[in-house]
Amino acid sequence: MTRVVLVGLLLCVPLQLWLAWDLRDPDRTLKEQLVHFKRLLVDGVDWWRRWYFRSLNSVRSLWRKTSRYNLYHEECPAKEVEMYRMSKGFFGQSPDVRPYRPDYLKLRIGQVVRVDNFENPGVIISWDLYARAPEDWLAEKYGKNLELRKEPHYRVLLGQPNSKEVYVPQRQINVLKATQVRHPKVSEIFHGFDGAQYIPKERLKKNFPLD
């Protein structure tokens, strides 16, 4: 993208100067014409330079907004966004071990569930005792509802045809029985299905030892 803008810059400056030079005042002396052309050259280059950096900043701003949209709406995030998630521990991505399970935590990793507003089943791959997410995401989703923010949240891998991950409060989840989830990532996280739920592999089991 930067190269395209740069090529446009290089092409437009000579065109602007050519048009300005072509429309020069015939009553001016040669010296006045040269001074005028020099001023056009300096002003033109300066204008296009500022335009170039404004355009570049606009592209960067659009990229940041797109990345945040992907992060908050669970839409195939880029690798950089995924690393950001993990480093902040947002959306169930914290690598910290969950050393205990309070009574109000009703669900476990590996359980097959149905999430409100989604028809296809999913499997729980992580949980937090309360919503861990950026403040602006929480404000947009829950407003001032502190009860929802403090409720346990689960990261759920939804099967086909949605095939995405969602981060939802406990009240929006219902457990399913004898149901499997079709998603290529399932085999990367779990050993298999035992007829009731999925058996986590060692890495996941290490983070959730009591599940």
Which residue, 194, 133, 184, 183, is CA-closest to 158? 183
The CA distance from 41 to 99, in Å, is 68
First to last CA, the chain: 48
pLDDT per residue as tens digits for the range 173-196: 999 999 999 998 999 999 999 999
pTM: 0.61
153 within a domain of the structure (yes/no): yes
Residues 199-210: what's their mean pLDDT?
95
Tell the residue number behind the tokens 């969602």, with chain if given: 166
125 within a domain of the structure (yes/no): yes
CATH number of residue 195's parent domain: 2.30.30.390
81 within a domain of the structure (yes/no): no
SS3 call for 148: helix
pLDDT per residue as tens digits for the range 12-62: 555 554 445 444 455 556 656 666 655 656 556 666 666 666 666 555 555
The CA distance from 95 to 88, in Å, is 10
Boundaries of domain holding 22: 2-73
- The type of residue at 27 is D
pLDDT at position 81: 46
Final residue of a structural domain among 19, 44, 73: 73
86 within a domain of the structure (yes/no): no
How many domains, in total, are found in the chain?
Answer: 2
- The type of residue at 191 is H
Based on the fold, state whether residues 115 and 200 are members of the same structural domain. Answer: yes
pLDDT per residue as tens digits for the range 71-90: 444 433 444 444 445 557 89
Based on the fold, state whether residues 111 and 173 are members of the same structural domain. Answer: yes
Based on the fold, state whether residues 137 and 199 are members of the same structural domain. Answer: yes
The CA distance from 60 to 170, in Å, is 37
> What does the DSSP 8-state code read for residue 153?
E
